Structure 1
Amino acid sequence: MFLLILAAVLLAAGQSAPLADCGTLTQQLQIQGRDQFLGRWTYAAESTNIPGSKMLTKMFVENVWGEVSPANESDSISVRQLQKMFGSCYSVTSKMTLANNTLTMAYPLVASEVLLTTSCSDCMVLLSNYTIGESTFSGVQLMTRRPKVLAAEMDEFKRQVDCLNLPPPAILDSEKGFCPDDSKDTETTDLTSMIAHSDSEYMKLFEKLVSSEAGIKTLLGLISHFEPPA
């Protein structure tokens, strides 16, 4: 909040607000409890070190939003993510546990997340590590409680991504309409079980495809022939 006030004062004076340094932008925040995660979040942008991930996201993912609710255990949350791809809706449900200032997930993928600082009062910046096959990848996501973030907030996130030595982020489009929030919507395909129960050989193949530019090109060829369920 202080950064926003300072920025407003400097702009009013006709000056440009200085960018925060990398030490500040990569600072890990103390998680106060699971309640700060609860509610609806729009995924505004994401960067990962998977080769070609930005290109894949821009080509096939229109937008993403998620609903976080309390799980049965006091230190856990349930996350239902809805993605619009190919003009159709897909959902993934996961459970995350909070311990040692870190959120961890074992299903449908193995992953961990920590919070990074942001001057946006109703945003979250999550730094993640997740395992595909035998490889671990890193990524950072900007999420907001609004349909979209301001230009200055996106600029700050781009600076964070640069400080983390990750590729420029893919920015999602909130103007194309989000998937409906009805959990019983018959037009939404749940991918949770398919991801979790993919056999080891399939995951090794997927790991190989996403780990190189040549593999990404092969994956693009496979996706180009994909037809969403009717």
Structure 2
Amino acid sequence: MLAVCAVAVIYLMSVSHAAPLACEYLLRPLNELDHHHLEGRWAMIAGSLSELPLIEHLRLRDSATAKFSSTSETNIAFRRSMSLNNTCSYKSFNISLEGSTFTFDNGRVNTTFIQTSCDDCILLSFDVKSGTRRHFYLYSRRRQLEQREIEEFRAQVECVNMPPPVVMDPTKELCPEEKTAKDARKAEEKKTAESQLTQQ
């Protein structure tokens, strides 16, 4: 009888410790961030937010992207796009990476890259206004992930005690890339050069 009780106690102890250990593993910040890997545009695959009204707003999105482009060793342009009701909106920020974290929007948003087993994904945890609100977004180079990759993200969301994630519809169009002032200048220079060639 004592042996049975001892086994039961050991089992309960192992179960009670399994979840926190698993969550500790699933929520590890990215140790080394490869700037070359980060460069370019990423499509949002799924996301969750700590506030339920915002979850409903997320469900209405057709698509969303994040784009990173280096301007120096540590300074990066961070651009986000969102498609809602066939209308695209854009926001751009200049950020400085500090390990696996960065801050933007005048210090209101602290962002951490979280490890994921998906090779062509990035997982971002946004803490807004000193942690009063949290956004948890999974992005990928692909528009659609394998089921096991989505399930891993679901487990990560559960670990941070947030509502089940909203999975984006991969058939919905992404916003066209926003033209920067530099892009517009290049286009204007090209147009001028072509115009001059036709006049010769």
Q: Shorter-chain-normalised TM-score: which range?
A: 0.7 to 0.9
Aligned residue for 2:159?
163
| Corresponding letter in the other structure for 2:174 | F
User: Deviations 1:56-81 (Å, cap 9, x if unpaired)?
Assistant: 211x311111221112x421211221
Answering whether residue 81 of structure 2 is matched by residue 82 of structure 1, we say: yes
TM-score (normalizing by structure 2): 0.72
Matched, 1:147 2:143: yes
* Cα displacement (A) at 1:106: 3.4
Match of 2:52 in 1: 51
What stretches of structure 1 of length at least 5 have no aligned partner? 1-18, 185-230
| Contact kept? 1:42, 1:144, Cα under 8 Å | yes
How many percent identity over aligned positions? 24
Greater helix content: 2
Distance, in Å, in 2 between the alignment partners of 1:101 and 1:151 is 26
Shift of 1:135: 7.3
- Number of paired residues? 161
Pick closer, same or farther for the CA change 1:106–1:177 going to 2, 3 Å. Answer: closer
Q: Does 1:128 align with 2:126?
A: yes
Q: Which runs of 4 or more aligned residues in structure 1 lie more than 6 Å from their structure 2 counterparts after TM superposition?
A: none
| Deviation for aligned residue 1:21 | 2.2
- Give the distance between the partners of 1:95 and 1:46, measured in 2 at CA: 23
Does the 8 Å CA contact 2:23/2:156 hold for their aligned counterparts? Answer: yes
Structure 1 contact 34–76 (Cα < 8 Å) conserved = no
What SS does structure 2 have at the residue aligned with 1:176?
coil
- For 1:31-50, what aligned pairs fall within 5 Å after superposition? 31-50=32-51
Rounded Cα–Cα distance in structure 2 between residues aligned with 1:104 and 1:139 = 14
Residue 95 of structure 1 pairs with residue 91 of structure 2: no
2: CA distance between counterparts of 1:34 and 1:112? Answer: 19
Q: Which residue number in structure 2 is paired with residue 198 of structure 1?
A: none
| Aligned partners of 1:42 and 1:148 also within 8 Å | no
State the distance in 1 between where 2:34 and 2:171 align. Answer: 32
| TM superposition shift of 1:103 | 1.2
Shift of the 68–101 alpha-carbon distance from structure 1 to 2, 3 Å rule, reads closer
TM-score if structure 1 supplies the norm length? 0.64
